[in-house]
Structure 1
Amino acid sequence: MQIILLSGGSGKRLWPLSNNTRSKQFLKLLPAGGDATESMVQRVVRQIRDAQLTDSIIVATGANQKDIISNQLGGSVEVVSEPSRRDTFPAIALASMYIADKKQCSSSEVVVVMPCDPFTEVGYFQTIEKMASEVEHGKADLILMGIKPTYPSTKYGYVVPSQQHNDGIAFSVERFTEKPDEKRAAELISQNAFWNGGVFAFRLGYMTDIVKQQLDVNSIIECYDRYAELPKISFDYEVVEKASSIVVVPFSGLWKDLGTWDSLSGEIKKESIGNVVMGDNNSGTLVINELNIPILCEGAKDMIIAADPDGILVCSKEHSEGIKSLVEQVKSRPMYEERRWGDYKVLDHTLADNGYESLTKQLHLKPGCKISYQLHHCREEVWSFIEGEGIIKLDGEETSVKAGQVVRIKKEQLHGLKAITDLRLIEVQLGTNLVEEDIVRVELDW
């Protein structure tokens, strides 16, 4: 079995901790035993391993999330990155071609596609096993997971099963209804409809045949190069609703979408995280602080208070779902990012009247990790090392560096950095057009 995890989104409902590069699935807030915490995607990958479903997990994502996936999951998963952000059908198509071409899997291989961030339990993964078995026994070309609704939600699509055709495990699908109003949702639940959980199972050849009908490609490289020709459409619309042979397998256990501060706070077993002092008169309030300055909280009831370099949120749990429209009014670059080598925080950004900029960051490199051997066209950099030891490579020459040293890197100068121990430095970028895209990577692993 091959499992494709879909990773995308901008996580605006969990601002300020989530942004375009650190979506909700990457927030390390869920309890993982003792004082340890894990992110949603780390939890799902761990659960897949614990259920012994497969060792083959492919994350389909955008280029902006590759580094944070590498940082959190390391080499335990494979990553297929979209050349441009489109929708779930192109992403699944590209990942399927990767499985067929790069992994050389046969057309009969079972593929399961699922979100990377459901909050669920072991029965969910046992249901995936049932779905795979239905595929193997030829019950249908496409198998869906149907989540038993717990209330008439307007956030999910519904799958209405046919009661006349079932084998005790799977039901034939009568019809789909996309995100109804509350009254219609209640009617659908009375008809034993399921939520569409976004989990699909099929034979690999089923999907690659669909891709080849659209693009006439035979390799992942061809599919990547012609990716923009694939329709920008969801898998549900392009494949599921057109399928002639389709069944749904029910799941009735724990399943939550932790997409708002209200829902997420219910799974965080602490009242505060970070540099926080809580008084004695708070009730039902969660405070998360990723800043160095303290937050003092007293007399707050059913509130969410979250602070990080991207901003500060103060809202009631009841209205936390409504912050998305407010976040869309905020125009700023991400102030914190996780990378494959560690992470960085933006400390300051100054723009002069003549267009000259300075951008100050604090970088943290994990032991053994490297910043690629690269150059910049529009900026010079000053690195001031404040903790640890490492090796810097400048124009082909490698030199040891440690706390207290300062290195100046000119425009167009080739440079790379490797951490021997935990390595921290202050990076000051000076120039014009200070954007992350101003990087020419010569060697990723030097």
Structure 2
Amino acid sequence: MKLILLSGGSGKRLWPLSNDARSKQFLRILDMDGQDEKVSMVQRVWEQLKKNGLSDDSYISTSQSQVEILNNQLENEIRLVVEPERRDTFPAISLAASYLYSMSSVSLDETIVILPVDPYVEDQFFENVKNLDQVLNDSGADIALIGVKPTYPSEKYGYIIPEQIDNNQFYTNVNTFVEKPHHSEAVSMISQGALWNCGVFAFKLNYLIDLLIELGLPIQYETMLSQYGQMPSTSFDYKVVENAKNIVVSPYHGYWKDLGTWNTLTDEMTNPIVGKGYISEDSINSHLINELNLPVTVLGLSNIVVAVSPDGILVSDKDESPRIKEILKSDTSRPMFEERRWGYYQVVDYSQNKEKDQILTKKICITAGNNLSYQYHIFREELWTIVSGEGELVLNNSIQTLKKGDLIRIPPKTMHSVKAISDLEIIEVQMGSNLIEEDIIRLSTDWSEIIKFCIK
């Protein structure tokens, strides 16, 4: 059995902590047994996969923009299948399946399980995941789903209507699906034994490979990668699940929750305050999440969430917090905080002078042993001030040491990289006519390869 975890998302529902570079699954605000520091949803799920013996058979399907943060948070333990561009779940799953088939030589009889990268579940949930292989073999079904027993008549989930309920069986046939019904419909369906669709399903690899052939789509990974922009941009549910002739569902009766909005996420926080701040005792059921080094105080306000980050400030009634996605749908602001494979950066200030030159100030933190890529920029000049730590600097193929207090000027088209010997903090001031993240030409990310440039 192989698992494909889907990692996507635009990062709007948990703004301002989440953004286009750091979706909800990467926010480090959850507690986990045995961990002193806060963890993200993806870190929590990965630990559960390891605990249940599933991590070695797991792959993550993601977009290029999330590769570095996944490597940072999961410490390069993972195997990634990277979309060349964002489309939808059908092309993403198809690309991953073609990788397993043509690059990893996975048997066509192998069970493939698809699941989100961020479910908030008990460990028992993964026993149900393991059982999907047996469910497919016993039922002969095209697709096997996991359905969650509803706890209330929600309008934001899809519902699976089984043909009959037998608590002594691992699975039952599926009658139909209803996507996000009205409250009254949800009440009626729950009374009939309907289950929430939690986005977990399984199929034999040959089922999807045969379907791709039937649709005239490539099954070789390299070919699909080169033609990815021509793949139909549609969901797997719409393209495959809704057209499958034989579907079964395996009920899960344990705890499951989608932590996709501030009101659901704060329910699972053990401490009402993350970061610097204070909440008065008469502020009932209120939470403060503060990523800045400025104190925030909440007085006499109940049932609210206050979230503060370099991207902005949210003050919202918890029940109204899901509206933030709609409000921000046309926002195109650049992310002010990003995690990378080497550490993270935070935008401190941005301005434009009288000559129309742009000036961007960043705090860059590189963790010990990691390095930036060997790179140069076309349009911008950079000035570095070393605030703390020690490192090695490569500048136009020459090597020098870095220490606290050093000042480094990097003109446009100057090749440069730095490796942190100890945790390294740099204040970087960018100046130029076009300050964009895309203004970067990477020559290498491997430090041993970078040193070879200097030896030459």
**TM-score range, shorter-chain basis?**
over 0.9
Q: Distance in 2 between matches of 1:170 and 1:278?
A: 47
User: 1:6 maps to what in 2?
Assistant: 6
* Runs of 4+ off more than 6 Å: 164-167
- Counterpart code for 1:5: L
Q: Distance in 2 between matches of 1:166 and 1:210?
A: 33
User: 1:361 maps to what in 2?
Assistant: 362
- Counterpart code for 1:370: N
Between stretches 99-108 and 136-145, larger displacement belongs to 136-145
- Counterpart code for 1:349: Y
Q: What TM-score comes out, normalization by structure 2 length?
A: 0.93
Question: Is structure 2 residue 148 aligned with structure 1 residue 168?
Answer: no
Contact 1:87 1:233 survives alignment (8 Å): yes
Q: How far has the Cα of 1:184 moved from its partner? A: 1.6
Q: Distance in 1 between matches of 2:377 and 2:145?
A: 47
Deviations 1:20-75 (A, max 9, x none): 11111111111123642111111111111112234122111111111111110122
Contact 2:46 2:55 survives alignment (8 Å): no
Q: How far has the Cα of 1:190 moved from its partner? A: 2.2
Q: Distance in 2 between matches of 1:307 and 1:93?
A: 38
Between stretches 390-399 and 252-261, larger displacement belongs to 390-399
- Counterpart code for 1:171: T
Q: How far has the Cα of 1:215 moved from its partner? A: 4.7
Contact 2:162 2:249 survives alignment (8 Å): yes
Q: How far has the Cα of 1:280 moved from its partner? A: 3.9
Contact 1:27 1:40 survives alignment (8 Å): yes
Three-state SS of the structure 2 residue aligned to 1:168 is coil
Contact 1:110 1:136 survives alignment (8 Å): no
Question: Is structure 2 residue 18 aligned with structure 1 residue 18?
Answer: yes
Three-state SS of the structure 1 residue aligned to 2:372 is strand
Q: Distance in 1 between matches of 2:215 and 2:375?
A: 38
Q: What TM-score comes out, normalization by structure 1 length?
A: 0.95
Q: Distance in 2 between matches of 1:402 and 1:56?
A: 43
- Counterpart code for 2:321: S
Structure 1 residues 211 and 403, CA, compared in 2 at 3 Å: closer, same or farther? farther
Q: Distance in 2 between matches of 1:306 and 1:165?
A: 45
Structure 1 residues 149 and 72, CA, compared in 2 at 3 Å: closer, same or farther? same
Q: Percent of aligned positions with the same letter in both sequences?
A: 44
User: 1:260 maps to what in 2?
Assistant: 261
Q: Distance in 2 between matches of 1:125 and 1:393?
A: 47
Structure 1 residues 165 and 292, CA, compared in 2 at 3 Å: closer, same or farther? closer
Number of aligned residue pairs: give it: 446
Structure 1 residues 19 and 54, CA, compared in 2 at 3 Å: closer, same or farther? closer
Q: Distance in 2 between matches of 1:241 and 1:70?
A: 34
User: 2:58 maps to what in 1?
Assistant: 57
User: 2:221 maps to what in 1?
Assistant: 220
Q: How far has the Cα of 1:281 moved from its partner? A: 3.4
Q: Distance in 2 between matches of 1:221 and 1:358?
A: 41
User: 2:95 maps to what in 1?
Assistant: 94
User: 1:335 maps to what in 2?
Assistant: 336
Q: Distance in 1 between matches of 2:390 and 2:170?
A: 58
Q: How far has the Cα of 1:356 moved from its partner? A: 1.8
Q: Distance in 1 between matches of 2:290 and 2:92?
A: 35
- Superposition pairs for residues 305-324 of structure 1, below 5 Å? 305-324=306-325
Q: Distance in 1 between matches of 2:398 and 2:208?
A: 49
Contact 2:165 2:193 survives alignment (8 Å): no
- Superposition pairs for residues 143-292 of structure 1, below 5 Å? 143-163=144-164, 168-292=169-293
- Counterpart code for 2:201: F
Three-state SS of the structure 1 residue aligned to 2:59 is strand
Contact 1:215 1:223 survives alignment (8 Å): no
